[in-house]
Amino acid sequence: MNEGTARNVVLMRAIETADTKHEILSEDDRLYASRSARELANWQASEGKSAPSLDHFLQQRAELILKRLAERTPAFAAFVHRRPLMPLVAVLLPILGFIAGAGLDRIADPHRVDLLSPPLLLIIGWNLLVYLALIVWALIPSKTTGWASPQLLRRLAVGKNALPRKLPAPLAAGLGNYLADWSRLSAKLVHLRLGRTVHLAAAAFALGAIASLYARGMVNQYAAGWESTFLDAGQVHSLLSVLFAPALAMLPLQGFSLADIQALRFVQEPSPAGGARWVHLYAATLLLLVVLPRLVLALVSALRARRIAHRFPLDLEQPYFRLLADRVGASGPAVLRVVPYSFTMDEARHKGLATIAAMVLGEQAQLMLRPSSPYGEDPKDSLRDARLDDADVAITAAVFNLAATPERENHGAFLDYLVRGTPRGIAVLLDESSLVERGPDARLDERIALWREFCRYHRSTATVVNLLHPDKYPLELGSGLALSTAP
């Protein structure tokens, strides 16, 4: 699935899951889109003599749904055609970099080549520092986005946060969810593209400085030399020998001796002799230490971004996609792993869990019920044999009894352990059945509010269920289980 298709699919999912009452997409709309997309996916599969592809089905279904919404709501059509800022930044930043580099000599004497030119030394030194930082960053992996803030990546990925006016409430909510989802899912891709753009801008800045040196040399006669309060000729010679070593080693350029450096000190009468030599040395050094490395780094970032854009890493094992895959016949059995905490499941509640699994993962869903984790026991001990990163498990759900009182050191520690260790996130099920069995209780809403706030504090979202009567809270395509995100 490429980036464009993934973007439409994420937008479709956000809208459908927000429209729980089918106000903007009726059940007929959804069934028509699924049926038409399934026919197209099956046709493509028969043409290729292969099994139906979930990617093709999702692509066709998203296009049908988004097209129908755009026809009904002009404001939504304008939103769909809104373009992110990244393509504009990718063009403007290198151009601005070249212009800024070309104007660099304005802060120095345009009639002389300073062997210790602060602007040129700053360009080289800054880029060497950047290379060192990149090496350190590669050796010390981090989950953060580094120098690019999440807010910047979000702005580049989805543009401004403002939504169009005159949108139905469910559609506005869906678009808000989409902006959050897509900015998170595309963060790595945008980061690579931004890195590519910055590298190109740095290379363009150096090229602008080189072009400026040669352009002014065409109409001005450079006088080469140097001056310093603290450095003598020997020290300047040592510094320049290290600085120009790559250029002298790789290109047929004229070198220099200590006597040459002594003769070029500006306390003497400036001489135009040798000006071109130092222009060539600085230009070659900028080319070898700045332009070429930056172009290589830009190429690496571009190739990595291209790979992600062509194979966008959208997790199709999530409940929403599993249910759609089940309808098109493109999925195998999905597993719902249930991890109760201080809550023993009887046969009736076990059947309720199986019904919920079928609701959120399709008719082929399988239930994996783990033994209840004892109250107060360290989750590392009670879950030591659980592979929380098991790729065969579609959803891991923690189950609590709504009648229990949540405690940070027990229930909270259990949730934190699951959230940290489960890459796909976890669902939290709050079973109200035992509380409801006690009779009408005015505290039911208070209990639900308490548990939901508690789960939010522990980076998860609670879903209320009744395991004795699972149909009381239907978890269908439009209102599946909410999953936590890894910290």
Residue closest to 207 by CA, chosen among 282, 319, 259: 282
| Cα(174)–Cα(179) distance, integer angstroms | 9
Angstrom CA distances, 210 to 19, 117, 271, 371, stand at 58, 13, 22, 70
Q: What is the pLDDT of residues 139-162, one digit of tens each?
A: 876 656 567 888 888 889 888 777
Cβ atoms 18, 174 nearer than 8 A: yes
pLDDT at 478: 42
E strands in 93-251: 112-114, 223-225
Q: Which residues of 310-333 are buried (b: 16+ CB within 10 A; e: fewer)?
A: eebebebbbbbbbbbbbbbebbee
DSSP codes joined into one string, 175-201: HHHHHHHHHHHTHHHHHHHHHHHHHHH
Does residue 84 sit in helix, strand or coil? Answer: coil
List, in order, residues 6 or more apart from 319 with CB less than 8 Å away: 360, 361, 394, 395, 480, 481, 483
Amino acid at 147: W
Angstrom CA distances, 302 to 190, 306, 311, stand at 11, 6, 14
Kindly give the confidence (pLDDT) of every residue in the chain, 487 residues in length, as a single tens digit, with 9 standing for 90 and above. 899 999 999 999 999 888 888 889 888 888 888 888 888 877 877 776 776 678 888 989 999 999 999 999 989 988 988 888 899 999 999 999 999 998 876 555 566 777 888 888 899 999 999 999 888 888 876 656 567 888 888 889 888 777 888 888 899 999 999 999 999 899 999 999 999 999 999 999 999 999 988 888 777 777 777 787 788 888 989 988 898 999 889 988 888 888 888 877 765 555 555 577 888 888 899 999 999 999 999 999 999 999 999 999 988 877 788 777 766 655 567 788 999 999 988 999 999 999 988 888 877 788 999 999 999 899 998 888 888 888 778 889 999 999 899 999 999 999 999 998 888 888 999 999 888 877 665 578 888 999 999 999 998 989 999 999 988 887 764 456 777 765 5
pLDDT at 487: 55
Residue closest to 427 by CA, chosen among 374, 324, 353: 353
Does residue 396 sit in helix, strand or coil? Answer: strand
pLDDT at 219: 72
User: Residue 429: enclosing H or E segment and its boundaries?
Assistant: strand 426-431
pLDDT at 327: 63
